[in-house]
Structure 1
């Protein structure tokens, strides 16, 4: 980050937090920050063109401030840490409007801040350098005290249990302490190169939904053979959690652990044969790929279907 003016970095305990976009992911992060991170809603500011979601956020989190102008996050509200939580079609449309140089995401280019500014892009399909072109005045980009990262943060952040991928090593000096501290309130941080961030979004973002789908399917099977719905869901979730923890703890390949569970002529191998006949593995793999392609289509196509 440029050190011009040697302004002091913000304190995560008092920092103003901004969101450009008010969709499901933004709402999940806000919920996690307030409920589990104990962040005062008065420090959170949200900009979105429609009031459909922001009205609900204001009702849910008393004191949260909203605007229909993206520029207010950087100007009027003067936020310190800002999440860009819009889909790729927004950036694509800016390039359609502006040509080789995109129109600003904020109507006007963001002002030169009086303090260090931290911007975290959750936008699939666009590199940081492209996002910067939508924010910074090209006549004097060197005057900004800006640190910007691409991140992936999934909706489990709403429960303080998110997975967060960052484009630098989380424990290095390349990630500012206020950003590390804020993200750590709602997620465990991992390093993923920027070039692989879109794949991480498909796996950990959309993959969370696929995991719930699988847990629900297992609980349906248990309900069919006599467990109550509540018990079936609870024990399906606990079983998946056991699988997750043993996989991470052992460092073994999932196929190896799968084989260790299967006794000769036992129930597990018979059940797995049903999954193989239904080609479940191919379906799950295809779902991740489909999520990835859809997100990129929003970023790259003029009129994604």
Structure 2
């Protein structure tokens, strides 16, 4: 890949994307340009991978063909305003800031700028992310394919229209927290039954990972896979009945709906 890739912000998500690209070896270190308010991060990456550690966000914008803006939503406007004059016409801005619309980004960098809005999730830290990708009309199909290739380094991607991003937040962006709560509860139940805490977490986490893999690779409906586990008069159907009595599925649906509403509210601000 010939493009020069820039990163403004090296928090958990920005660093995860950067490390995924480095591990894939599709972009050499000397084509990567970074800036973070903690200089030691850039110094270490320069020493280990010859990445260009620059002194400001403006420097990154000036040198890069693609710029990942990986800062918190509450400071992204300041960053965009700061770098606006350094952007080339064909520079692609990639934002991972939740609740910050393409329109808001364009308002600060210019409506003719190429902009891609991305919604990743924390499994990016282990290269198992699910990312939505939403380009504006200035981004060509070839450019979109390049962005997708870069993000495929940390997991899976789907192209999604912007009006569905709030639903993506519920299904993918926020849902790891719900899954971690589910795993913790499964483990607590197993510990109550006598299993050690360490083994309980391993059994519960592997069950979740394996179940997700089975769903994705089999192509079967989740209800069908659930029925495969529920033997007549068996143990599993007893547990399913308890979950239904407690409103398990309704609670999850309401949790997803709550994240969607919150995401919409953030975008309106």
Fold shared by both chains (TM-score > 0.5): yes
In structure 1, the gaps of 5 or more residues are: 1-10, 95-102
1:131 and 2:105 equivalent? Answer: yes
CA contact (8 A) 2:99 2:264 kept: yes
Are 1:16 and 2:1 an aligned pair? no
Q: 2:96 aligns with which of 101, 116, 122?
A: 122
Residue matched to 2:80 = 105
Residue of structure 2 in register with 1:235 after alignment: 203
Query: Could you say if the C-alpha distance between residues 47 and 294 of structure 1 is closer, same or farther in structure 2, counting changes exceeding 3 Å?
Result: farther
Instruction: Tell me whether 1:247 sits opposite 2:215 in the alignment.
Output: yes
Aligned counterparts, 1:126-165, within 5 A = 126-136=100-110, 141=112, 147-165=114-132
If asked which structure has higher relative contact order (CA below 8 Å, sep 6+), I would say 1
Distance 2:28 2:195 in 1: 42
Query: SS at 1:189's partner residue?
Result: strand
What do residues 104-143 of structure 1 show as CA deviations (whole Å, max 9, x unaligned)? 8233623352x8422222233343243122113x7xx4xx
Contact residue 88 and residue 299 of structure 1 kept, 8 A:
no
Is the 1:82–1:118 Cα contact (8 Å) retained in structure 2?
Answer: yes
- The equivalences for 1:43-192 within 5 A come to 43-47=31-35, 51=37, 54-55=38-39, 57-58=41-42, 61-63=45-47, 65=53, 67=55, 69-75=56-62, 78-90=63-75, 94=77, 105-107=80-82, 109-113=84-88, 116-136=90-110, 141=112, 147-167=114-134, 173-192=141-160
Q: Deviations over 1:30-79 (max 9, x none)?
A: 34334x3356666544445xx3xx35634764545254x5333212xx12
* C-alpha RMSD of the superposition: 3.1
Q: Distance in 2 between matches of 1:125 and 1:210?
A: 20
Count of residues in Structure 1 that have an aligned counterpart in Structure 2: 260
Q: Say if 2:261 is the partner of 1:287.
A: no
Q: 1:129 to 1:208 in 2, by over 3 A?
A: same
State whether structure 2 residue 17 is matched by structure 1 residue 29: yes
Q: Aligned equivalents of 1:199 and 1:160: distance in 2?
A: 22
- 1:230-263 CA-to-partner distances (Å, cap 9, x unmatched) read 3322222221123212222333332232223212
Secondary structure at 1:130 match in 2: helix
> Higher helix fraction: Structure 1 or Structure 2?
2
> What SS is found at the alignment partner of 2:195?
coil
Q: Provide closer, same or farther for how the CA distance between residues 46 and 293 of structure 1 changes in structure 2, counting only shifts above 3 A.
A: farther
- Secondary structure, counterpart of 1:226 in structure 2: coil
CA 1:243 to 1:60, structure 2 compared with 1: closer, same or farther past 3 Å? farther
